[in-house]
Structure 1
Amino acid sequence: MADTITLSKPVADFHVHVRDGDMMKLVVPTIKLGGVSVAYIMPNLVPPLTSVADVLAYKSRLEAVDPSITYVMTLYLSPAVTPAVIHDAAKAGITGVKCYPAGVTTNSEHGVASYVPYYPTFAAMEEEDMVLNLHGECPSAGHIHLLNAEEEFLPTLKDIHTRFPKLRIVLEHCTSAAAIQAVKDCGATVAATITAHHLFLTIDNWAGNSFNYCKPVAKFPADKQALLDAATSGDPKFFFGSDSAPHPIVNKEKGNGAAAGVFTQTHAAAYVAEAFDQLGKLDKIEAFLCDFGRQFYKIREKKAEWSVVLKKEQNVVPPLLGNGASAVVPFKAGEKLNWKVEIVGL
């Protein structure tokens, strides 16, 4: 395999958390470092982004930090997101609506308890050709727990797809073989994102290590293999969404109740190259990182004035981004990677 890969266009990352305030100012400049020029921005701020005005104001704050990135924006599904809001959002250029089941992950307290009340909203989204982004887990209760919460959600995915067959749906950050199969079983309007970190992690890597803890949690070796197989398959249903999620180190070190999220933004494309290289599938990396997501989302973007080269060259992931208790620990902090991202033309 080649030791240098020049991508025909920069990476498009279809699941990005950058928070707000000081954390946003720290993290947004790292989007480009990972090779990314298109960032699909999650709306689970505090408070969540439930109005068109709030989303557009947030986009302006992001552009003030780095105007060269194409920020693709989303609303947070809540009772405030009515069909009328959907029509206004479409006119304003907002691309998607993120659905969080109530209480399953970071800042999901205002999330969904039942999907039935949102059927009119889904119908309006279908009409406007907007994308429904599903955090695919059921809340833990009774027989449902961390390890089966995603699989228990899959009938809901299939039900929404059956009711709204023209609605574009993305099952976010798949972690299980069952999720991969469910996406394959659905029609062409259903796709899925796969993160960089889930290409490496299993349950053994996060149990007792809060810096590898995210939601949905990484599962078993067979599940990791299913993700690797899907990501390297050349199937356009599967594309890159890092779910890079920065948390201050103080919130990751607090033991029980540690924040869910893995931060991968600074080395996004390098992590993926590492995983693909181990399988001898580097010929599939550009489609996964650059092409399939853009095609599914029908992206219109700013022309990047820079390009991305992946080089097989050892580099060490720094231990921290930022300083003090608010610093962020990157995925594989302190470890050596065999690939690095080089930005050309800046």
Structure 2
Amino acid sequence: MLSLAMWRTRLGKESALRGGTLAVAHAPLASPRRLDGARRSRCPATPTRDAAEAVGDTSGGPERLTFTAPDDWHLHLRDGDVLADVVPHSASQFSRAIVMPNLTPPVTTAKLACEYRARIMAHVPEGSSFEPLMTLYLTDNTPAEEVHRAKEAGFRAFKLYPAGATTNSDSGVTDVRKCFGALKAMEETGTLLLVHGEVVDPKIDIFDRERVFIETVLPTILDNFPNLKVVLEHITTKHAARFVLDGPKNVAASVTPQHMLLNRNALLVGGIKPHFYCLPILKREEHRLAIVEAATSGHPRFFLGTDSAPHADQNKLSACGCAGIYSAPLALPIYAQVFEENGALDRFEGFASVNGAAFYGVPRNERVVELVREDWRVPANYKFGDDVVVPLGAGLKLTWRLRT
């Protein structure tokens, strides 16, 4: 039975569909089919049943992992009635989560962030210690005073969305130079800048947008504000990984499960897979490999950020399908399996529970959690308001489960 490393040498070949449990997700998927329990999705986010049954060789591995409770440093919860469906998923897996502010309308002020936090807290299950860490949405017109108000309210970060780059980003930044007043205040107060690192110039190919941002926009920020802490969110390229590895100590990166698992073949080969569509878009295999290598390296400035982003199934399958992959209920087991298949389980706690807290300047969680080796299958979907949301790897067999 192929290990993940062996499988990679055969990427793109149909025979690779007999790879490890997670490895199969990298390969071109077979013809779409309906999963048992799927309500109507014709393109589920899963490999074929035969491939999903395959289990990587984990003989000799530990039966349980006990480690500091993890945090999610990049999370979308949406708003309204669906909070009741998605908040418990994150609360069951993570102690804290950085909550993204790209609502409609966006969370641009400390007052709006306080109100949003209250709506989230109303759906945290009784007995849970889950803490949403709120962020504010940076615009061309964010005043320095708002940065200070956010700091006083206990909020640690602003999110920079280039206008039009992703979901609900139309109110984002059109020119980073217009934000210099706010960025200066952030540097002075120790407020973090979280960056969706893509340019939106229509002349730039969508697969090159992250690289061009790193080469052009990011230096402008760092040259003018050398003490500003910056997180490159959901990195997808070898260029981003290398920048963090070689760059200044005030730059870190969050890493998603989908960008460790999938390359663009998974999205496009054998038919378009709308449940694998996310932004930044999936890249070539060489970039996925670089992301895995960086995340599992033990380097202290790479940490867990799921970018879990639920959309109703009907919106994912529409003529203009939404970008976003839902992973909150299963991200932790996926990450653990990737680390195991790369011989890096001893570095998993740092990535999941230590590095992010250190970079954000908050204490590590005091409680511990346990992952146990147990085969289970990802549900075909989860309730999402009046619809359903199809998760990453729907129908896939995983080998770790969080003990609750």
The RMSD of aligned alpha carbons is 1.5
Match of 2:13 in 1: none
Match of 1:214 in 2: 278
Match of 1:2 in 2: 62
Aligned length: 337
Match of 2:358 in 1: 295
Identify which range, 89-98 or 178-187, moves more after superposition. 178-187
Match of 2:82 in 1: 23
- In the TM superposition, what is the alpha-carbon distance from 1:312 to its structure 2 partner? 1.9
Q: 2:315 aligns with which of 243, 248, 251?
A: 251
Identify which range, 67-76 or 185-194, moves more after superposition. 67-76
Q: 1:231/1:323 Cα in 2 relative to 1: closer, same or farther (>3 Å)? A: closer
- In the TM superposition, what is the alpha-carbon distance from 1:325 to its structure 2 partner? 5.9
Identify which range, 178-187 or 88-97, moves more after superposition. 178-187
1:308-323 equivalences under 5 Å are 308-322=369-383
1:43 aligned partner, one-letter code: P
1:203 aligned partner, one-letter code: R
Deviation sequence 1:133-153 (CA, Å, 0-9, x none): 0000111511x1221111110
Match of 1:48 in 2: 106
CA contact (8 A) 2:86 2:384 kept: no
Q: How many Å separate the matches in 2 of 1:88 and 1:3? A: 47
1:89-100 equivalences under 5 Å are 89-100=150-161
Q: 1:119 aligns with which of 177, 180, 189?
A: 180
SS in 1 for 2:389: coil
Q: How many Å separate the matches in 2 of 1:303 and 1:60? A: 24
TM score, norm. by length of structure 2: 0.81
Q: How many Å separate the matches in 1 of 2:171 and 2:283? A: 27
CA contact (8 A) 2:264 2:282 kept: yes
In the alignment, structure 1 segments of 5+ residues that lack a partner are: none
* Percent of pairs with identical residues: 36
Q: How many Å separate the matches in 1 of 2:83 and 2:363? A: 24
Q: How many Å separate the matches in 1 of 2:81 and 2:273? A: 26
Q: How many Å separate the matches in 2 of 1:82 and 1:100? A: 16
SS in 2 for 1:178: helix
SS in 2 for 1:72: strand
Q: How many Å separate the matches in 1 of 2:231 and 2:385? A: 36
SS in 2 for 1:59: helix
CA contact (8 A) 2:163 2:200 kept: yes
Looking at CA atoms only, which structure, 1 or 2, has the larger radius of gyration? 2
- In the TM superposition, what is the alpha-carbon distance from 1:104 to its structure 2 partner? 1.1
TM score, norm. by length of structure 1: 0.94
CA contact (8 A) 1:38 1:69 kept: yes
Match of 1:237 in 2: 301
- In the TM superposition, what is the alpha-carbon distance from 1:88 to its structure 2 partner? 0.9
> Is residue 333 from structure 1 mapped to residue 391 from structure 2 by the alignment?
no
Q: How many Å separate the matches in 1 of 2:224 and 2:158? A: 17
